[in-house]
């Protein structure tokens, strides 16, 4: 079985002070730390677990600059057999359509049974690249999958539906599945694990290699243009309690009691 | 006049709330005529009811549509959209919508704006929207050309449905599934949560905990605080993903919808998926180490601080007051 996993390097913003750059369309990235997109990490683990359970060849693919090689090395360290790096300034500024187009070109010529993507990325937060890619490949897909098993040429998945329910669905391969967090427990990647795969060669494909140009990928081709980004008004509505621990907690207890919290 | 299509989802035999929210969103797009698209099994009566809200209703009533399948729906709708050429097709950004919207957009070759919180279309053929990026900490204003129609997935809860139907009095158009289009997925079953599990949807006071709890052992602090307050413990998705608490305690669009009087959010950043599960405008108090956490935009009162330091103190002071 051939499994392709699409991964992305994203800024980790959980504890970071963020600032919009002067161009009004990107973040100042001097202090940003990057990591593999959380959903994609579950997708890699799912692929590697299928490989361990029933045998498979796992290929991790990313689109991004040279720093994005990190997430591919990480996937290799987790057990992917091969990685493919789509790297070209021509890809810069692509929208979901452009990203899906490039992934489609990179995948379409290969043989594959299963394509896994994260359900969403924490940076652009569209959740649409997987569905677009499936439509371009003309294969069926299921979104937000929380458990996955493969038997022969059929995958059985559990996926989230509205109202906190889950649905069990069967789907014939080849298919695309977008992975929800919690599908598994992604293994720990040690520095030594990364070092072990540091010698593995990662092929690079440019836009020209994929027969793509500025009319199909990149900022010019983007069908959805970002006009500006901005920070929402902070603490809008919230009364922020300041002071030492003792006094802020006292003030909070006061307000909780008044609101009927206890 | 601009033609707008709204895809209607169903919940327990009723149109989902998002149908009426998207009808409101459609009216932000200028001089419009708004059509509903309804897919299901035995939904003809529901289609007739929808004419009170929409100027026309396209209904696909077929046993194969009993269970929502965004992939199948996209292949059914593509010829309708190609033929009718609406200015915009609005789809709720729900789980099924996340399948339908991207697959439909590619099939009809139209730009796709994801998870819009507001939309407008003042000039020409351009449609604009505001959406959140970077874990909800940043907002982006985006634009797309609707020359070939646009597909917009709209965040549930972002638009207020009008209280009463406009009595649009539309016509019902019965549509049939295009030749050669059949499901590619096989529905097996729907899994409901364990009925014996705790029901946080009825709780008046919730102490909810997120990633900020850091370690499973620290949950003891949260349980002790909830006991002191007479509250139930709830949580965010990452806590469930780590299997520290049961899925039935997860608040959010993929979890339980709650409507408490008071919601104490501890170490919760406030993703829209989480906030989407909180209804009824409760009093929200939030404690988080990150001053830029989106939770502070919706909270009534906030403290920037470490919950591990503050929870024991909070519990002690509440116990003192309760005597």
Mean pLDDT of chain A: 94
pLDDT exceeds cutoff 80 at A86: yes
Output DSSP code: residue A99: H
pLDDT exceeds cutoff 80 at B322: yes
Q: What is the pLDDT of residues A142-178, one digit of tens each?
A: 999 999 999 999 999 999 987 778 999 999 999 999 9
**Cα torsion B198, B200, B204, B206: sign:** positive
Report the candidate in A200, A237, A250 with the shortest Cα–Cα distance to residue A77: A200
Between CA A56 and CA A42 the distance in angstroms is: 17
Report the candidate in A105, A108, A115, A12 with the shortest Cα–Cα distance to residue A59: A115
Contacts of A97 in chain B (CB under 8 A): 105-106, 111-112
* Residue at B156 is within a domain: yes
pLDDT exceeds cutoff 60 at B220: yes
Mean pLDDT of chain B: 94
Mean pLDDT of B226-243: 95
Mean pLDDT of B189-201: 84
Report the candidate in A66, A211, A225 with the shortest Cα–Cα distance to residue B112: A225
In a mutagenesis test of the A interface, which of B9, B12, B67, B103 is the best target, namely the one with the most A β-carbons within 10 Å? B103
**CB pair distance less than 8 Å for B70 and A143:** yes
Do B117 and B214 lie in a common domain? no
Give the distance from residue A96's alpha carbon to the nearest chain B alpha carbon, in angstroms: 8
Mean pLDDT of B205-214: 96
Q: What is the pLDDT of residues A94-129, one digit of tens each?
A: 999 999 999 999 999 899 999 999 999 999 999 999
Query: Residue B303's domain is classified under what CATH number?
Result: 3.40.50.1220
* Residue at B189 is within a domain: no
- pLDDT band, very low/low/confident/very high, at B273 (cuts 50, 70, 90): confident
Q: What is the pLDDT of residues A192-219, one digit of tens each?
A: 999 999 999 999 999 999 999 999 999 9
Output DSSP code: residue A20: B
pLDDT exceeds cutoff 70 at A236: no
Secondary structure tally for chain A: helices H, strands E: 6, 13
Q: What is the pLDDT of residues B68-103, one digit of tens each?
A: 999 999 999 999 999 999 999 999 999 999 999 999
Q: Is A227 an interface residue toward B (CB < 8 Å)?
A: yes
Q: What is the pLDDT of residues B14-73, one digit of tens each?
A: 999 999 999 999 999 999 999 999 999 999 999 999 999 999 999 999 999 999 999 999
Give the distance from residue B308's alpha carbon to the nearest chain A alpha carbon, in angstroms: 12
For A257, nearest residue in chain B (alpha carbons): B318
For B244, nearest residue in chain A (alpha carbons): A182
Mean pLDDT of B154-181: 92
Mean pLDDT of A179-188: 96
What is residue B110's predicted lDDT score, i.e. its pLDDT? 97
Do B78 and B166 lie in a common domain? yes
* Residue at B88 is within a domain: yes
Task: Judge contact between A16 and A32, C-beta under 8 A.
Answer: yes
Distance set, CA A258 to CA A107, A244, A255, B92, B186 (Å): 59, 21, 5, 37, 52
Query: Residue B169 region, left (φ>0) first, then alpha (ψ -120 to 50), else beta?
Result: left
pLDDT exceeds cutoff 60 at A235: no
In sequence order, the β-bridge partners of residue B140 are A229, B131
Contacts of B283 in chain A (CB under 8 A): 255-256, 259-261
What is residue B122's predicted lDDT score, i.e. its pLDDT? 82
Domain locations in chain A as residue ranges? 2-221
Helices (H), chain A: 38-54, 69-78, 96-108, 129-137, 191-196, 245-258
Q: Is A126 an interface residue toward B (CB < 8 Å)?
A: yes
Do B257 and B310 lie in a common domain? yes
Do B97 and B231 lie in a common domain? no
What is the percent of chain A where pLDDT is above 70? 98
Domain span including residue B299: 195-322
Task: Give one DSSP letter per residue of B252-311, joined into a string.
Answer: STTSB-B--SEEEEES----HHHHTTB-S--EEEEEES-TT-THHHH-SEEEES-HHHHH
Between CA A121 and CA A94 the distance in angstroms is: 15
How far separated are the first and last CA of chain B, in Å rounded? Answer: 66
Higher pLDDT pick, B135 / B295? B295
What is residue A229's predicted lDDT score, i.e. its pLDDT? 95
What is residue B192's predicted lDDT score, i.e. its pLDDT? 80
CA trace torsion A140, A45, A43, B268 (10° rounding):
140
Task: Judge contact between A39 and A118, C-beta under 8 A.
Answer: yes
Do B37 and B160 lie in a common domain? yes
pLDDT exceeds cutoff 70 at B104: yes
pLDDT exceeds cutoff 80 at A234: no
Contacts of A177 in chain B (CB under 8 A): none
Between CA A140 and CA A131 the distance in angstroms is: 9
A2-221 maps to which CATH number? 3.40.50.620
Beta strands A57-63 and A2-6 are parallel
**CB pair distance less than 8 Å for A100 and B106:** yes
Instruction: Give the three-state DSSP class for A161.
Output: coil
Q: Is B153 an interface residue toward A (CB < 8 Å)?
A: yes
The beta-carbon neighbor of B139 closest among A181, A229, A238 is A229
Do B40 and B136 lie in a common domain? yes
The number of folded domains in chain B is 2
Between CA B142 and CA B137 the distance in angstroms is: 16
Query: Residue B41's domain is classified under what CATH number?
Result: 3.40.50.620
- pLDDT band, very low/low/confident/very high, at A93 (cuts 50, 70, 90): very high
What is residue B167's predicted lDDT score, i.e. its pLDDT? 85
Q: Which of B121, B141, B175 is the last residue of a domain?
A: B175
């Amino acid at each position: 079985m051939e499994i392709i996993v699409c991964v992305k390097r994203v800024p980790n913003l959980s504890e970071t002070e963020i600032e919009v750059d002067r161009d009004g369309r990107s973040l100042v990235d001097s202090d940003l730390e990057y990591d593999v997109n959380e959903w994609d990490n579950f997708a890699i683990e799912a692929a590697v677990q299928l490989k361990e359970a029933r045998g498979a060849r796992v290929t991790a693919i990313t689109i991004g600059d040279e720093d994005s090689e990190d997430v591919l090395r990480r996937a290799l360290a987790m057990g992917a057999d091969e990685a493919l790096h789509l790297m070209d300034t021509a890809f810069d500024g692509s929208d979901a359509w452009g990203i899906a187009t490039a992934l489609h070109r990179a995948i379409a010529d290969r043989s594959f049974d299963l394509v896994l993507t994260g359900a969403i990325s924490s940076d652009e937060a569209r959740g649409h690249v997987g569905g677009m890619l499936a439509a371009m490949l003309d294969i069926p897909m299921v979104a937000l999958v929380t458990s996955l098993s493969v038997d022969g040429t059929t995958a059985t998945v559990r996926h989230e539906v509205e109202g906190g329910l889950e649905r069990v669905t069967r789907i014939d391969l080849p298919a695309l599945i977008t992975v929800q967090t919690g599908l598994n427990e992604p293994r720990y990647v040690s520095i030594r694990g990364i070092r072990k795969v540091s010698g593995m060669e990662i092929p690079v494909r440019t836009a020209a290699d994929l027969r793509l140009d500025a009319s199909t990928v990149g900022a010019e081709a983007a069908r959805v243009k970002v006009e500006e980004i901005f920070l929402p008004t902070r603490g809008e509505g919230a009364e922020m309690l300041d002071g030492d621990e003792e006094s802020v907690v006292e003030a909070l207890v006061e307000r909780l009691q008044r609101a009927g919290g206890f | 006049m601009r033609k707008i299509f709204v895809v209607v989802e169903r919940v327990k035999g009723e149109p989902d709330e998002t149908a009426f929210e998207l009808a409101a969103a459609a009216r932000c797009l200028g001089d419009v005529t708004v059509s509903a698209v309804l897919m299901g099994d035995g939904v003809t009566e529901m289609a007739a009811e929808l004419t009170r809200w929409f100027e026309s209703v396209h209904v696909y009533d077929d046993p194969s549509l009993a269970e929502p399948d965004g992939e199948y729906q996209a292949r059914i709708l593509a010829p309708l959209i190609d033929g009718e050429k609406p200015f915009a097709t609005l789809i709720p950004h729900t789980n099924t919508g996340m399948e339908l919207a991207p697959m439909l957009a590619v099939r009809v070759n139209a730009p796709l704006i994801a998870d819009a919180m507001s939309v407008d279309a003042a000039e020409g053929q351009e449609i604009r929207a505001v959406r959140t990026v970077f874990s909800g900490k940043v907002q982006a204003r985006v634009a797309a050309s609707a020359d070939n129609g646009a597909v917009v997935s709209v965040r549930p809860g972002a638009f207020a449905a009008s209280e009463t139907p406009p009595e649009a009095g539309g016509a019902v158009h019965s549509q049939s599934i295009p030749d050669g289009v059949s499901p590619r997925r096989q529905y097996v079953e729907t899994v409901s949560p364990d009925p014996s599990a705790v029901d946080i949807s009825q709780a008046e006071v919730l102490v909810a905990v997120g990633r900020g709890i850091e370690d499973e052992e620290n949950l003891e602090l949260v349980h002790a605080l909830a006991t002191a307050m007479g509250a139930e413990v709830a949580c965010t998705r990452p806590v469930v993903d780590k299997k520290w608490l049961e899925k039935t305690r997860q608040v959010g669009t993929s979890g339980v919808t709650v409507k408490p009087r008071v919601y104490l959010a501890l170490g919760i950043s406030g993703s829209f998926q989480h906030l989407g599960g909180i209804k009824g405008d409760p009093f929200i108090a939030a404690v988080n180490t990150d001053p830029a956490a989106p939770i502070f935009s919706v909270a009534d009162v906030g403290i920037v601080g470490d919950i591990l330091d503050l929870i024991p103190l909070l519990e002690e002071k509440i116990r003192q007051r309760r005597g």
